[in-house]
Amino acid sequence: MRVTILPDREVREVDARSVGELLKTLGLHRDAHLVVRGQDILTSDVSLSEADQIEVWPVISGGRR
């Protein structure tokens, strides 16, 4: 599948059966990244297919001081 890793817009072809496997293959921590397909944010257990086009976004948190 085609995976775009943001914010750098790095594009990679990755073979993974699930979101959890995808993040592991990319060496990314699941609590620090969102995986998006279309308009949907996916959880680690969601199945993926070769035809998917996925975006991986870093989670940015902040708050008031």
Task: Report the CATH number at residue 12.
Answer: 3.10.20.30
Identify the domain containing residue 52 by its residue range.
Answer: 2-58
Looking at the chain, which runs of residues are DSSP E strands? 2-5, 10-13, 33-37, 40-42, 53-58
**Nearest in space to 6 (alpha carbons), one of 54, 43, 64:** 54
Tens of pLDDT, residues 31-41:
999 999 999 99
Asked whether residue 38 is domain-assigned, the answer is: yes
Asked whether residue 32 is domain-assigned, the answer is: yes
Asked whether residue 64 is domain-assigned, the answer is: no
Asked whether residue 63 is domain-assigned, the answer is: no
User: What pLDDT score does 63 carry?
Assistant: 62
Asked whether residue 65 is domain-assigned, the answer is: no
Asked whether residue 13 is domain-assigned, the answer is: yes
Asked whether residue 41 is domain-assigned, the answer is: yes
Domain count, the chain: 1
User: What pLDDT score does 65 carry?
Assistant: 64
pTM of the model: 0.88
